[in-house]
């Protein structure tokens, strides 16, 4: 009987200890590859002391829905490859959440053993788990283990092997009588489905799971059965099933898990007394978020980003900074002698008096004898001086001549000078005699565009590192809890906050996370508002505006974050007061995991995963669009003839023509600037593009106020195509998708308009009509915020 080779799948939530267990069970006996057709890692290994048993480490998942690559891979494996047994590992300190997956695994008709992991932690907390009772309610053998300490690990494996050999499937979770009756009706209309998978397919058909529907193409009468059930429960079928699962878990866990005597406060509880305190919680959260953004965007971030932009993807840099000081000194001396001549100083002084934008910065740089600051200000505002009074203020001739002349200090003479990527590539291309078109394409188009985006990777990694830490130590869960208290005051559910949190990384999983919200109206509202929070890709936009227009002030990043939060809360309140979204928020129950020090490898992995997906995007979609932008900006009309010309003014290019045609839309927001217009439009492809556009077309000509308005618009308007796709999938309805996009763009427009017009009053660039309209809009928003809840809505929520 021991002849047959068997396969056991190791399944469980992320961080439940699968990899730890897998390594213990298989020793070094493992093969790592990819699942066919996808890049999710596949790990296989032979069970120690059992040559005929293979263990397959499935990706960590929370459920078997068809929404993420990991879930799809796991389901396909379980259904199509049909392993002989499942060893389901669950985190004993977080049973409730972990058993959700267990209820789904138990429907597959595959023999299963549940390994309750982290026994050491459970015992340390003084808690106890009644294994016999748990085993009888979930209908399969249960073993308590500690994968880390190796406790009972071999026993769990033996039980799984025995279960697999016996072929005895677990008992699936039982739902309420109503739901069971509906499922029975559906099951009767599903002939031809293998008996062992009947429960699974029935439930998936009830949930209208795309993949299963496509595979089975079931009887059309089923659709009516589902609709009737949904009307009866006033909920969609997927939520019905989710509720049933949680109810089953709640019932099952009664008397199974007992916490150590109440009244005693653990360290975790004591921290929570402060961190979730009614008055202190929000201020603490603000301070933490401010610190996180301050460190990642302003200090560490700027330092590394400057190096990447000006050094690695710029002219070059000194190895380890050796020679930097001497070189700077020499340059300052050279500038003082050849550039900051009496004539130039007089011109700049005149320009300052006449109020030419930026002239004061150039003046200050000269006064401080800082060539770096001078270059930066000159690059930015030199044009302004040139344009004024037929060149009376112009200093460009002197500057250009001095920089072209012999005798400019060469960095190579002061230390080990490492040339930047563009310089190296240019040298190489010149060497092999590439024509100008190709050279421009590679250096300005590709390296310029992709480099500008990659320059923000270090900054983002720092941010992701902090977020990963806050997430895995358990703080973020507290914030959701605190936010629930706040949101509830406005009639919103704290559950809406989890998608927002996830959305700080990327809007796509953020939007997808909204599916944990059972109430359809709350869910739709959350989908519509989640992407207001700045995602990782919007961070470079914030950093760019902060650095270029606000001297890297930390408040820009922090305010952008809170602008997003405010947009979410304000939208929540406004929408909740419309008839479409009225109703009481769903109660929010969540286990707060104990605080703990996350492992370094976990944090690094999560940081890297987020960062890597960003880098991948830079290598594909951003690469392509950088090329398109570069082509669009170098093809155009010179003296009426169309053709390629690297020195084309933006206005004369194809891109410029397009920008010109639509820029009027943004005039009331202060950025009827071709580049800002193109950047905004390209932002729909991917938000990283916004920075990419400025990278390829280089930065110029936004006032700080217009810049901030531009920032506000780009943060709040419709997200990138990928996130819009996610919205479409989650809404599962074209009309709602368009409504969401329309709402986001409208809100973005109104907010940017108010910022620009009211800000104009203070900077002296405002006009009366704009201000009146802005005040009217503010009054309108105020009315929407403070009007009473709809009478109809009240009644509905009472009877619902």
Cβ nearer to Mg ion, comparing 19 with 268: 19
Residue carrying the six token digits 């009706």: 185
Nearest to 22 by CA among 148, 207, 195: 148
Per the CB < 8 A criterion, the answer to whether 202 and 187 are in contact is yes
The residue number with the shortest CB distance to Mg ion is 19
Residue 199 near residue 107 (C-beta atoms within 8 A): yes
Residue 17 interacts with which of ligand GDP, Mg ion, none, CB < 5 to 8 Å by class: ligand GDP
Picked from Mg ion, ligand GDP, none, the partner binding residue 16 (CB below 5 to 8 A depending on kind) is ligand GDP
If the CB atoms of residues 267 and 798 are measured against ligand GDP, the closer one turns out to be 267
Contact assessment for residue 681 and residue 674, using Cβ atoms and an 8 Å cutoff: no
Q: How far is the CB of 116 from ligand GDP (least distance, A)?
A: 10
**Residue 394 contact partner, candidates ligand GDP, Mg ion, none, CB within 5 to 8 A by sort of partner:** none
Q: How far is CA 568 from the centre of its chain?
A: 16
Q: Which does 602 bind (CB under 5 to 8 A by kind): ligand GDP, Mg ion, none?
A: ligand GDP
Q: Which is nearer to ligand GDP, 120 or 426 (CB)?
A: 120
Name the residue nearer to ligand GDP (CB basis): 120 or 386: 120
Nearer to ligand GDP (CB atom), residue 30 or residue 363: 30
Beta bridge partner(s), residue 471: none
C-alpha 90/C-alpha 92 separation (Å) is 6
Query: Could you say which of ligand GDP, Mg ion, none residue 106 binds, taking C-beta under 5 to 8 angstroms by partner kind?
Result: none
Q: Which is nearer to ligand GDP, 118 or 582 (CB)?
A: 118
- In the complex with ligand GDP, the residue whose CB is nearer, 115 or 565, is 115
| Shortest Å, Cβ 595 to ligand GDP | 14
Choice from 7, 9, 19, 395 touching Mg ion (CB under 5 A) = 19
Burial environment of residue 25 by CB neighbours within 10 A (0 to 12, 13 to 18, 19 or more): buried
Minimum distance from CB of 169 to ligand GDP (Å)? 24
Task: Tell me how far apart the alpha carbons of residues 705 and 538 are, in angstroms, rounded to a whole number.
Answer: 19
Contacting residues for 394 by C-beta, under 8 A, at least 6 apart: 347, 385, 386
Cα angle for residues 49, 53, 58 (degrees, 5° grid): 120
Helix (H) / strand (E) element for 467: namely helix 457-472
For residue 334 the two structure tokens come to 């050279």
Q: In this structure, are residues 552 and 302 in contact, taking their beta carbons and an 8 Å threshold?
A: yes
Minimum distance, C-beta of residue 594 to ligand GDP, in the bound complex (Å): 11
List the one residue out of 775, 303, 720 whose CA is nearest residue 506. 720
CA distance 532 to 499: 11
Q: Are 558 and 546 in contact (CB under 8 A)?
A: no
Neighbours of 136 (CB within 10 A): 14
Rounded CA-CA distance 750/669 in Å is 9
Please say which residue, 147 or 356, places its beta carbon nearer to Mg ion: 147
Measured from the CB of residue 36, what is the shortest distance to Mg ion in angstroms? 20
State residue 60 phi and psi, 5-degree precision.
-70, 130
Phi-psi sector, 234: left (phi>0), alpha (psi -120 to 50), beta: left
Q: How far is the CB of 39 from ligand GDP (least distance, A)?
A: 18
Name the residues that contact ligand GDP, by CB under 6 A.
12, 14-20, 60, 117-118, 120-121, 146-148, 599, 602
CB-CB contact of 21 with 115 (8 Å): yes
CB of 53 to ligand GDP, least distance (A): 20
Q: Say how many C-beta atoms besides its own lie within 10 A of residue 367's C-beta.
A: 11
Applying CB under 5 A, the span of 18-26, 493-501, 627-635, 687-695 interacting with Mg ion comes to: 18-26
Whose Cβ is closer to Mg ion: residue 13's or residue 347's? 13
Pick one of ligand GDP, Mg ion, none as the site partner of residue 118 (Cβ within 5 to 8 A by kind): ligand GDP
Nearer to Mg ion, 148 or 771 (CB): 148
Binding mask 226-265 for Mg ion (x = CB under 5 A): ----------------------------------------
C-alpha to C-alpha distance for 100 and 571, rounded to whole angstroms: 32
We find the least distance from the C-beta atom of residue 32 to Mg ion, in angstroms, to be 12
Distance from the first to the final alpha carbon of the chain: 58
Q: What does the angle CA 231 – CA 236 – CA 238 come to, to the nearest 5 degrees?
A: 140
Looking at the Cβ atoms of 9 and 118, the one nearer to ligand GDP is: 118
Q: Which stretch binds Mg ion (CB under 5 A): 15-23, 87-95, 215-223, 237-245?
A: 15-23
Q: How far is the CB of 19 from Mg ion (least distance, A)?
A: 3
Q: How many residues bind Mg ion (CB under 5 A)?
A: 1
**83: closest CA among 103, 104, 53, 43?**
53
**Could you say which of ligand GDP, Mg ion, none residue 173 binds, taking C-beta under 5 to 8 angstroms by partner kind?**
none
Q: Which is nearer to ligand GDP, 58 or 582 (CB)?
A: 58
CB of 62 to ligand GDP, least distance (A): 12
Return the number of the residue (24 or 332) whose C-beta is nearest ligand GDP.
24
Cβ of residue 117: shortest distance to Mg ion, in angstroms?
12
Residues across the chain: 800
Provide the token pair at 259: 């916490």
Q: Which does 20 bind (CB under 5 to 8 A by kind): Mg ion, ligand GDP, none?
A: ligand GDP
- The torsion of the CA quartet 425, 430, 436, 437, rounded to 10 degrees, works out to -40
Q: How far apart (Å, rounded) are the C-alpha atoms in residues 750 and 752? A: 6
Q: How far is the CB of 15 from ligand GDP (least distance, A)?
A: 4
C-beta of 605: minimal distance to ligand GDP in Å?
8
Among Mg ion, ligand GDP, none, what does residue 12 contact (CB within 5–8 Å per kind)? ligand GDP
Do 159 and 141 contact (CB within 8 A), yes or no?
Answer: yes
**Candidates 16-24, 66-74, 168-176, 683-691 — which segment interacts with Mg ion by CB under 5 A?**
16-24
Of 539, 529, 527, give the one whose Cα is nearest residue 716. 529
Q: Give me the least distance between CB of 120 and ligand GDP, in Å please.
A: 5
The answer to whether 371 and 328 are in contact (CB under 8 A) is yes
Identity of the residue, 38 or 408, whose beta carbon is nearer to Mg ion in the bound complex: 38
| Footprint of Mg ion (CB under 5 A) | 19
């Amino acid at each position: 009987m021991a002849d047959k080779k068997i396969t056991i799948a190791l399944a469980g939530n992320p961080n439940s200890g699968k990899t730890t267990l897998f390594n213990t069970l298989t020793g070094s006996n493992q093969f790592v590859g990819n699942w066919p057709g996808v890049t999710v890692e596949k790990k296989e290994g032979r069970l120690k002391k059992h040559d005929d048993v293979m263990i397959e480490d499935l990706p960590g998942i929370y459920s078997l829905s068809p929404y993420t690559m990991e879930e799809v891979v796991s389901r396909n494996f379980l259904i199509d490859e049909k392993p002989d047994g499942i060893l389901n590992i669950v985190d004993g300190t977080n049973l409730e959440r972990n058993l959700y997956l267990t209820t789904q695994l138990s429907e597959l008709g595959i023999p299963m053993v549940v390994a309750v992991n982290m026994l050491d932690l459970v015992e340390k907390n003084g808690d106890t788990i009644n294994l016999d009772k748990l085993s009888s309610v979930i209908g399969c053998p249960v073993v308590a283990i500690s994968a880390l300490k190796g406790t009972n690990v071999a026993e769990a494996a033996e039980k799984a092997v025995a279960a697999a050999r016996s072929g005895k499937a677990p008992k699936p979770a039982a739902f309420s009588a109503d739901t069971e009756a509906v499922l029975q009706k559906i099951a009767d209309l599903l002939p031809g489905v293998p008996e062992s998978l009947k429960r699974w397919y029935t439930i998936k058909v009830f949930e209208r799971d795309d993949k299963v529907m496509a595979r089975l193409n079931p009887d059309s009468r089923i659709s009516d059965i589902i609709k009737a059930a949904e009307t009866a429960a006033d909920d969609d079928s997927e939520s019905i099933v989710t509720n049933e699962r949680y109810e089953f878990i709640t019932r099952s866990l009664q008397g199974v898990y007992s916490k150590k005597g109440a009244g005693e406060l653990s360290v975790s509880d004591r921290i929570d007394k402060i961190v979730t305190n009614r008055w202190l919680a929000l201020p603490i959260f603000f301070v933490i978020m401010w610190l996180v953004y301050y460190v990642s965007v302003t200090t560490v971030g700027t330092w590394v980003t400057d190096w990447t932009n000006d050094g690695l993807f710029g002219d070059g840099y000194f190895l380890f900074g050796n020679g930097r000081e001497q070189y700077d000194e020499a340059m300052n001396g050279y500038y003082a002698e050849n550039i900051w001549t009496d004539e130039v100083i007089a011109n700049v002084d005149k320009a300052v008096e006449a109020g030419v934008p930026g002239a004061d910065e150039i003046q200050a740089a000269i006064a401080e004898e800082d060539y770096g600051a001078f270059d930066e200000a000159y690059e930015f505002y030199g044009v302004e001086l040139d344009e004024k009074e037929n060149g009376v203020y112009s200093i460009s001739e002197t500057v250009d001549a001095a920089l072209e002349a012999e005798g400019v200090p060469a960095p190579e003479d002061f230390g080990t000078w490492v040339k930047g990527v563009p310089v190296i590539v240019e040298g190489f291309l010149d060497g092999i005699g590439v024509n100008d078109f190709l050279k421009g394409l590679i250096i300005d188009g590709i390296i310029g565009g992709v480099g500008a985006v990659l320059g923000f990777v270090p900054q983002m990694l720092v941010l992701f590192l902090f977020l990963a830490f806050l997430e895995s130590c358990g703080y973020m869960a507290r914030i959701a809890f605190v936010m629930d208290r706040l949101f509830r005051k406005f009639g919103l559910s704290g559950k809406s906050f989890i998608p927002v949190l996830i959305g700080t990384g990327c809007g796509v999983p953020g939007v997808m996370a909204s599916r944990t919200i059972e109430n359809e109206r709350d869910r739709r509202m959350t989908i519509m508002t989640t992407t207001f929070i700045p995602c990782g890709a919007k961070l470079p936009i914030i950093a760019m505006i902060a650095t270029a227009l606000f001297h890297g002030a930390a408040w820009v990043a922090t305010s952008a974050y809170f602008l997003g939060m405010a947009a979410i809360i304000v939208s929540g309140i406004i929408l909740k007061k419309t008839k479409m979204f009225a109703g009481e928020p769903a109660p929010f129950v969540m286990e707060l995991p104990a605080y703990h020090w996350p492992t370094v490898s976990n944090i690094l992995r999560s940081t890297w995963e987020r960062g890597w997906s960003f880098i991948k995007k830079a290598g594909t979609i951003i690469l392509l669009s950088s090329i398109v932008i570069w082509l669009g900006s170098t093809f155009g009309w010179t003296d009426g003839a169309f053709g390629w010309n690297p020195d084309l003014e933006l206005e004369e290019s194809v891109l410029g023509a397009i920008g010109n045609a639509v820029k009027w839309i943004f005039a009331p927001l202060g950025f009827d600037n071709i580049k800002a217009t193109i950047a905004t439009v390209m932002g729909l492809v991917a938000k990283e593009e916004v920075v990419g556009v400025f990278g390829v077309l280089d930065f110029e000509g936004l006032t700080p106020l217009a810049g901030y308005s531009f920032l506000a618009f780009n943060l709040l308007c419709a997200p990138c195509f990928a996130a819009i796709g996610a919205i479409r999938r989650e809404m599962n309805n074209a009309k709602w998708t368009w409504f969401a996009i329309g709402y986001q763009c409208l809100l973005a427009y109104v907010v940017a308009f108010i910022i620009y017009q009211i800000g104009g009053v203070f900077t002296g660039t405002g006009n009366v009509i704009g201000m009146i309209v802005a005040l009217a809009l503010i009054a309108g928003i105020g009315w929407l915020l403070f009007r009473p809840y709809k009478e109809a809505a009240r009644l509905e929520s009472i009877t619902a």
